[in-house]
């Protein structure tokens, strides 16, 4: 493959790794994503939108190769949606393929690979979209209370969970934090999101206290060779990895008696869900989450609608 074609393939692999590690999707779902993206690439190649070579789902070369995803615009993406209809796919299958395309281009936008999401105004067949799983406030309290004791790992885990729930950070942003990225006096954390985009997020006093406790009592006992300025350290004294945090999260969830499937992204969804139910504007939540497009945040729209209705019922003199 040419260098550019390899870059495109790497973008697909990075997206699938993101879905596996940060979203916790199943192997079957990952396979579906891969198949959908390969089919999209094949269509684009045959349509002469992109040049170079792309492999099919079995790894065999198929047609001319892909070069750059940023050559796909809204008209091309719309043509692909029409192509899916002409192929006779069911609404469910078309919805999945369109969702795969939209998720992929949303990822590329956040990564800075494309400057505009060509699928932003494209809608999938309406099947009734459900909000991703989130913990209840009671379950979140159980999880935050699960690291009991004063040993370094317990103090560290308590600080990480408090910070995740306080900020809605992605797991990659959490483990990428350095000590100087958290300002305990100001109550802020500097996160570096997809495409190295920087944002400053507020940290509430409870999480600030937990992080301060970790820095004073726990981190010095975890430091090993290669720790550098990393904020959160693993058992070997080096920067904690995404997989390492996921392992910790599963263990703490089991200790808290939470039976539902839990991934790092569940904490992010819980953060957003609880904010919106508390009345936070969608735009503010978009900024806190670091979403490049409001359309990514709009999976939570029905929560804001519920809040508006409840406020109406509470405030309007004739609503009762």
How high is the pLDDT of residue 261? Answer: 83
Q: Which of 117, 75, 82 is nearest to 97 (CA)?
A: 82
Q: Give the pLDDT mean for 107-131.
A: 77
How high is the pLDDT of residue 57? Answer: 44
End-to-end, the C-alpha distance of the chain in Å comes to 67
Active site residue 242: no
Q: Which of 113, 102, 117, 101 is nearest to 8 (CA)?
A: 113
How high is the pLDDT of residue 237? Answer: 92
pLDDT at 124 over 60: yes
Asked if 212 and 189 count as a contact pair (C-beta separation under 8 A), the reply is no
- In angstroms, the CA 271 to CA 269 distance is 5
196 or 76, which is more confident: 76
Q: Which of 96, 102, 194, 252 is catalytic?
A: 194
Active site residue 269: no
Q: Look at strands 188-192 and 182-183 and give their pairing.
A: antiparallel
Q: Which of 170, 219, 239, 269 is catalytic?
A: 170
Q: Give the pLDDT mean for 232-245.
A: 92
Active site residue 268: yes
pLDDT at 71 over 50: yes
Q: For the stretch 153-172, what's the b/e string if a residue is b when 16 or more beta carbons lie within 10 angstroms of its beta carbon? A: bbbbbbbbbbbbbbbbbbbb
How many residues are listed for the chain in this entry?
320
pLDDT at 104 over 70: yes
Active site residue 46: no
How high is the pLDDT of residue 16? Answer: 92
Between 137-145 and 264-277, two packed helices, what is the crossing angle to 10 degrees? 130
Active site residue 291: yes
pLDDT at 146 over 50: yes
Q: How confident is the model at residue 50 (pLDDT cuts 50, 70, 90)?
A: very low
For each of the domains in the chain, give its residue range(s) and CATH number, in order of start: 3-111 (1.10.150), 137-306 (1.10.443.10)
Q: How confident is the model at residue 4 (pLDDT cuts 50, 70, 90)?
A: very low
pLDDT at 62 over 50: no
């Amino acid at each position: 493959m040419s260098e550019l074609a390899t870059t495109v393939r790497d973008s697909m692999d990075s997206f699938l790794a993101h879905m596996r590690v940060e979203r916790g999707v199943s192997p079957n779902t990952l396979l579906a994503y891969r198949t959908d993206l390969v089919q999209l690439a094949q269509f684009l190649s045959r349509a002469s939108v992109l040049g170079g070579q792309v492999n099919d789902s079995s790894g065999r070369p198929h047609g001319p190769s892909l070069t750059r995803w940023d050559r796909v615009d809204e008209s091309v993406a719309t043509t692909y949606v029409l192509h899916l209809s002409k192929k006779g796919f069911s609404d469910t299958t078309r919805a999945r393929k369109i969702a795969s395309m939209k998720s992929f281009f949303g990822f590329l936008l956040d990564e800075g690979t494309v400057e505009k999401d060509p699928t932003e105004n494209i809608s999938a067949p309406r099947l009734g979209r459900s909000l991703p799983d989130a913990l209840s406030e009671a379950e979140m309290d159980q999880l935050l209370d699960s690291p009991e004791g004063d040993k370094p790992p317990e103090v560290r885990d308590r600080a990480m969970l408090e910070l995740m729930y306080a900020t809605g950070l992605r797991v990659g942003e959490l483990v990428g934090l350095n000590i100087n990225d958290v300002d305990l006096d100001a109550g802020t954390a500097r996160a570096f999101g997809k495409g190295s985009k920087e944002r400053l997020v507020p940290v509430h006093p409870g999480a600030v206290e937990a992080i301060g406790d970790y820095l004073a009592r726990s981190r010095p006992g975890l430091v090993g060779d290669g720790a550098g300025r990393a904020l959160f350290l693993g058992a070997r004294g080096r920067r904690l990895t995404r997989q390492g945090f996921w392992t910790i999260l599963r263990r703490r969830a089991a200790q808290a008696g939470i039976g539902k499937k839990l991934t790092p992204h569940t904490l992010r969804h819980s953060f957003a869900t609880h904010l919106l139910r508390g009345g936070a504007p969608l735009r503010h939540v978009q900024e806190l989450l670091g979403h490049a497009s409001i359309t990514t945040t709009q999976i939570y729209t029905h929560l804001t609608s519920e809040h508006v209705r409840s406020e109406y019922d509470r405030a309007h003199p004739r609503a009762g």
